Structure 1
Amino acid sequence: MTQIIFLPHEELCPDGAVLEAQPGESVLNVALKNGIGIEHACEKVCACTTCHVIVREGFDSLDEGDELEEDLLDKAWGLEAESRLSCQAIVKDEDLVIEIPKYTLNHAAEDH
């Protein structure tokens, strides 16, 4: 089974977390089912940036993001080269280390 290590986040998981994941699950679904409440305003359909995460280790094991995800990520706060939308980042057989950014932008709610 694959492990996803979530680095500490002040509000969502202050102590960090090491979670078990099945290949084929999204990073977001693994987080949510384990009590890490990453925002997901579009209900996981790749239509916002609220579930933005940074993949600190294991990034190359993920499939490349599609054009829609890449376009959305351009609007995310704190964008980095290893940024992904966690609803689109599908776990394979390599462990991942995930950082949840301190802030998120909900363009619909924040009228951007």
Structure 2
Amino acid sequence: MPIIKVLPHEQLCPQGKEFEVAAGAQLCKALLDNHIEIEHACEMSCACTTCHVVVKEGFSSLNESDDDEDDLLDMAWGLTPQSRLSCQVKVADKNLTIELPKYTINHARENH
């Protein structure tokens, strides 16, 4: 099973974290299941950018982004060539290292 390594994030994951997931798992759901409270304002329907992540290692193993995801990513804070919306990422059989951006374009977080 692939290992997801999350780099430290001041609010969401101060110490960083590593966990295993099954190949084919949705990345956003895997983060939430492992107590990393990444924003997902559109409930993972590819309608916002709050679940934006930067894939530092393993990017080439992921499913390709579609036009809808690419259009939304253009609005994401801290966009890089390795940016993805975690709600659209299916984990392959390779390990991933991801960075959670410091900010999102969301003005207020729900449930906080």
TM-score when normalising by structure 2: 0.94
Counterpart amino acid of 2:76?
A: A
Opposite residue 91 of structure 1, the aligned amino acid is: V
Runs of 4+ in 1 over 6 A off after TM superposition: none
User: How do residues 69-84 of structure 1 correspond to structure 2 at under 5 angstroms?
Assistant: 69-84=69-84
Q: Is the 8 A contact 1:48 1:107 kept in 2?
A: no
Q: Determine the structure 1 residue equivalent to 2:60.
A: 60
* Overall identity of the aligned pairs, in %: 59
| Runs of 5+ unmatched residues, structure 2 | none
**Gaps (5+ residues) in structure 1?**
none
Aligned to 1:106: 106
1:107 deviation in Å?
7.3
Could you tell me how far apart the structure 2 residues matched to 1:29 and 1:40 are?
Answer: 10
Offset of residue 106 of structure 1: 2.2
Deviation of the 1:27 alpha carbon: 1.1
Q: Could you list the per-position Cα deviations for residues 6-25 of structure 1 after superposition, in whole angstroms to 9, with x for gaps in the alignment?
A: 00000000000001111111
- 1:95 aligned to 2:95? yes
Corresponding residue for 2:21?
A: 21
The residue type paired with residue 34 of structure 2 is N
The 1-side partners of 2:62 and 2:26 are apart by 10
Please state whether the residue corresponding to 1:97 is helix, strand or coil.
Answer: strand
The answer on whether the counterparts of 1:19 and 1:30 sit within 8 Å (CA) in structure 2 is no
Equivalent residue number for residue 2 of structure 2 = 2
Task: Please report the TM-score for the alignment, with normalisation by the length of structure 1.
Answer: 0.94
Q: CA RMSD in A?
A: 1.4
Between the two proteins, the alignment pairs up a number of residues equal to: 109
SS in 1 for 2:54: strand
